[in-house]
Structure 1
Amino acid sequence: MTSGRVARDLTVSVVLLPLTLASVALAALPGSFTPGGTRRWGRGRSEESRARAQQAKDSAATAFYELDTAQRDLRITLETLSAAEESPESRRAAARFATLGEQVDRISHDYISTLDAHDLDAEQLDAGEANRAYRELSRVTDELVRARGDLTRFEQSLTPLVSRAQEQLAQVVPAVDRAKAALLAATEALDGARRSGLSADELAARLAGLGPELRALNEGAGQHGVRPTIQRAERVLREARAIAAEAARLPERAAEIDRRLTSLRTRAEAISHRAESVGPVLSELRRRFMANCWQDLQRVPEQAEEAVREAGEALAAARAERAAQRFDAATGQLSRAHELLGGADEAVSAAGDRLRRLTEIARDASGEVERARFAVRDAQRLAMRGRTVPDPRHAGPLDAAVARLERAVAELEEGGRNPDYWRFLTELEAVRESAASVVEAIRAGR
């Protein structure tokens, strides 16, 4: 039998056998062949398996790239959330992302290990090895896809947090811009003050103190956080606006300090001149009235002189501070001088007022008595308005005021030629104050 006949007979036999048996038979033949007589059937299966494995490898690579991209994008989202706010929700999201990250790292390591385990370009790669590579690459691809799905669902759950973070982020740029604009305006205001001849050193130091805050604003919310950045911008805005306003007022403040210096110096001279008249007033009081009427005024001349002297020192200090353009310090010294001169003015005026009032009461006390009685009667009428019996809380003080008034009148009449007019006046004043307190209490209660 020729070799051609044998080949044809074997071909017919292969067609009639089942596919699996045909495969076994062909594999067993040492001279099995492919069409054209140059390719074996076994190598064809190996190439087909290699192609499937290569396709699985490409799919795994695509899945790995998509997973890596999703993880990197999600990491940026979590960094944005962390920068935008420190809240329990953002902390829980960060913890969940860390857990997912561990899962992704494990799957990625499995993917790389699988790639390293199978060299699909090897010449000796057989069908069995290619099929194993296909199965393992398909498995790791499924894991990569599932992990990508977990990241996607997690990202969707962050939508409310992301929306809130975006709202806060949208506030950062306008807030920082406003702060920088305010700093520029403050700088220009300082320049304007300097052009008018004022150094404005204090304000310049305050403006320079905002330098670190400006650097932090330039570094951005990514480094310092969204909320802290917005708060920092607001602080810079307030301080810069205050500096600009004060710089704009510097010429006016300087002029105001100059006016107050002149006014207080004039007032000090007037009080010093008036204090010279206190001595004769005290002499008149001593001559005409008992000691109780003037003893508390004995040191008025010395007190006035001391107050005027201290006020003069304060004014000198204010002028020095004004010359150094330390306006806050100058204003403080002016306030001290004003207070000292006010006390001296009151003391000097008190002596003259005392003599005038004692002279009037000595001439005729009926006017003061009538004023006190009217105040008490007016309070009594108000206390009885709409009532048949007065409220004890009001009746008690008013009865005491009446009794006090009667005692004061009796003591004045019993004082003879030199009664204690000053005690009489203070007692009547106390009666009026008591009546006024009752009136105030009644009106507050209604």
Structure 2
Amino acid sequence: MNGGTRRWGWGGGRAEHLRADAQAARDAAAAAFYELDTAQRDLRISIETITAVDSSPAGRKAAADFADFGRRIDAVSHDYISTVDAHELDRDDLDASAATRARAELDRARQDLERVKGELDRFAQSLGPLLTRAENQLSRLAPAVERARQGLLAASNALDAVRGQGLKADDLAARLAALSPELTKLNEGAGAHGVQETLKRADRVAREAEAIRADAEGLPQKAAEIDKRLASLRTRTEALQTRAGQVEPVLSELRRRFSIACWQDLQDVPRQAERSARQADEKLREARAARDEQRWADATSLLSTVRALLNTTDEAVKAAGERLQRLNEVSFDHSKEVERTRFAIRDAQRLAMAGRSTPDPRHAGPLDNAVERVDRAVASLTGRHPDYWHLLSELDAVRETVQQVVERIRQERAQGR
């Protein structure tokens, strides 16, 4: 054998087997490395989806945990690459010990890669709920932005339509113009302003645009309603002016036929009615001017003021006429009013005694007092000009008190007391 040590080569089957095993270990490690790298890249997309939408503690923790995984993946990947670089398995002079060592180290590198891959897979599975919520929000983004854009277009078209009818709608135009910066931000996208903020902005713009559209489409009807109210309140004002002029003759008859106590609280009604009618007429002119200038809110407010003035004055004028009518009736025969009141008292007394041998003092006291008040009121009708208004006022008050007692009795019995 040439007298020296013979070099061990790869001629034998076992040697070739060791090389093949090492190369297979290298291929398996390469596959594990590729799978880990692919899983990391896929999961990075999921993490970016979550962090784009979810700023909650859970979302921040997911990002931090993924960053930690990144450092661990870098470490095992570095070890793998270093191991591959350390062993040239295709060399002709690779000896058996080198092949065996290479296989062992490559197996360890593969196992480390697979272990981290398994942990990464479990981490990815744990992100399922967060990812689902994030994807749902992202799926809303484009439709929400499109709704906002379409809403703005519809509002603009509605404004153009009412302007074509001669209505200015300047306030609506100003509201629409105020949304222009918001549209600019929507066009800049979620990348510039965040998904959550963009969703909120899109929803806000859509709501405001819809409100502008609805207000614009309702403007012709609003104008017609204001015109109708102007005409109606003008008619009421003219009628009230006529009726206000009839109060003084009513007061003259009250003064002539009844005591001062029967009419003194009505002394200012003519002057108040005249002043209110004049104020109503003035506010109507202002409302007409506001309507002509298309200041709809001002016109509506002024018309409400006119209605309030007319209602108050109408009640005062009506009260004077009703006072004369009631006094005429009671002065002719006060027994009807008195008997109506006494009947109400007796009816309440029967209710109070129903199912009882003695009345409840809480009910009997007010009813007994009511009887006495009626007697005193009737007895007060003395002199040439009796105070019939005091009689009527007292009888009204007695009937109100009696009704309160009746309601209290019914309520207590309904509660089983």
Task: Give the shorter-chain TM-score range.
Answer: 0.7 to 0.9
> 1:19 — aligned with what?
none
Contact 2:182 2:201 in 1 (8 A): yes
Q: 1:322 to 1:145 in 2, by over 3 A?
A: same
Name which one, 1 or 2, has greater alpha-carbon Rg: 1
Q: Is 1:251 the equivalent of 2:227? A: no
CA–CA distance in 2 between the matches of 1:392 and 1:125? 124
Report the CA distance shift for 1:245/1:100 in structure 2 as closer, same or farther (over 3 A).
same
Q: Which amino acid is 1:400 matched to?
A: N
Q: Distance in 2 between matches of 1:384 and 1:168?
A: 70
1:194/1:200 contact within 8 Å kept: yes
Cα deviations across residues 215-272 of structure 1 (Å, max 9, x unaligned)? 555524995345x655555544443333332222211111111121122122222222
Partner of 1:431: 398
Aligned residues: 410
- CA shift, 1:331, in A, is 0.8
Deviation at 1:334, TM superposition (A): 0.7
- Rounded to whole Å, the distance in 2 between the matches of 1:104 and 1:168 is 30
Cα distance change of structure 1 residues 142 and 351 upon mapping to structure 2, 3 Å threshold: same
Task: Quote the residue 2:269 is aligned against.
Answer: 300
Amino acid at match of 1:246: D
Q: Note if contact 2:10-2:16 (Cα within 8 Å) is conserved in structure 1.
A: no
Which TM-score applies when normalising by structure 1? Answer: 0.77
Structure 1 partner of 2:311: 342
Q: Contact (CA 8 Å) 2:141, 2:195: kept in 1 or not?
A: no
Q: Please tell me the residue identity of whatever aligns with 1:436.
A: Q
**How many angstroms does 1:430 deviate by?**
0.8
Shift of 1:150: 1.0
**Cα pair distance change 1:124/1:85, threshold 3 Å:** same
Tell me, what secondary structure is at the counterpart of 2:6?
helix
How far did residue 151 of structure 1 move?
0.9
2:6 is matched with 26
8 Å Cα contact 1:379-1:439 kept in structure 2: yes
Q: Is 2:291 the partner of 1:291?
A: no
Change (3 A) 1:60 1:405: same
- Measured on the aligned residues, the alpha-carbon RMSD in Å equals 3.9
User: Which whole-Å deviations, capped at 9, do the CAs of 1:2-29 have from their partners, x for residues lacking one?
Assistant: xxxx65xx6xxxxxxxxxxxxx9214xx
Distance between the aligned counterparts of 1:203 and 1:186, measured in 2? 9
Asked if 1:205 is matched to 2:174, the reply is yes
How far the C-alpha of 1:428 sits from its partner, in A, is 0.9
- Residue 407 in 1 paired to residue 376 in 2? yes
CA shift at 1:154, angstroms?
A: 1.3
Structure 1 residues 242 and 142: CA distance shift in structure 2, 3 A: same
* Deviation readout 1:340-374 (Å, 9 max, x if unpaired): 12112222222222222222222221122122222
Asked if 1:422 is matched to 2:376, the reply is no
Paired with 1:74 and 1:149, the residues of 2 have a C-alpha distance of 13
SS in 1 for 2:303: helix
SS in 2 for 1:25: coil
The 5-angstrom pairing of residues 86-235 of structure 1 reads 89-111=58-80, 118=86, 120=88, 136-215=105-184, 219-220=189-190, 224-225=194-195, 232-235=201-204
Q: Deviations over 1:368-409 (max 9, x none)?
A: 212222222333333334444434443333233222222212
Comparing 323-332 and 200-209, the one that deviates more:
200-209
AA matched with 2:270: P
- 1:173 Cα deviation (Å)? 4.9
1:282 aligns with 2:251: yes
Partner of 2:49: 80
Uncovered stretches (5+) of structure 1, i.e. residues with no partner: 1-5, 11-23, 33-39
CA distance in 2, matches of 1:146, 1:159: 21
1:256-275 superposed matches below 5 A: 256-275=225-244
3-state secondary structure, aligned to 2:386: coil
Contact 2:352–2:363 (Cα < 8 Å) also in 1? yes
**Gap runs ≥5 in structure 2:** none
2:338 maps to which residue?
Answer: 369
Deviation at 1:171, TM superposition (A): 4.7
Query: What amino acid is the match of 1:101?
Result: G
Cα deviation for residue 59 of structure 1 reads 5.1
* Residue identity opposite 2:6 in structure 1: L
User: Is this contact kept in 2: 1:120–1:130, CA < 8 A?
Assistant: no
Q: The residue matched to 1:416 in structure 2 has which SS?
A: coil
Q: Alpha carbons of 1:390 and 1:242: their partners in 2 closer, same or farther (altered >3 Å)?
A: farther
Structure 1 pair 389–211 and aligned structure 2 pair: CA distance change class (3 A):
farther
Identity of aligned residues (%): 56
Q: Quick one: which amino acid aligns to residue 273 of structure 2?
A: A
Any conservation in 1 of the 2:29–2:110 contact (CA below 8 Å)?
yes
Question: In terms of mean alpha carbon deviation, does 416-425 or 428-437 score higher?
Answer: 416-425
Between 379-388 and 252-261, the greater mean CA deviation after superposition? 379-388
* TM-score, scaled relative to structure 2: 0.81
| 1:107-132, Cα deviation, whole Å (9 max, x unpaired) | 345456667x7485999997688877
Which range is displaced more, 144-153 or 95-104?
95-104
Compute the displacement of 1:339 (Å).
0.7
Q: Structure 1 pair 120/400, CA: closer, same or farther in 2 (3 Å)?
A: farther
Letter of the 1:283 partner, please give it.
S
Say whether the 8 Å CA contact 1:322–1:330 is kept in structure 2.
yes
Shift of 1:313: 3.1
Contact 1:83 1:222 in 2 (8 A): no
Is the contact made by 1:53 and 1:131 (CA closer than 8 Å) also made in structure 2? yes
The question of whether the paired residues in 2 share the 8 Å contact of 1:293 and 1:421 is answered with yes
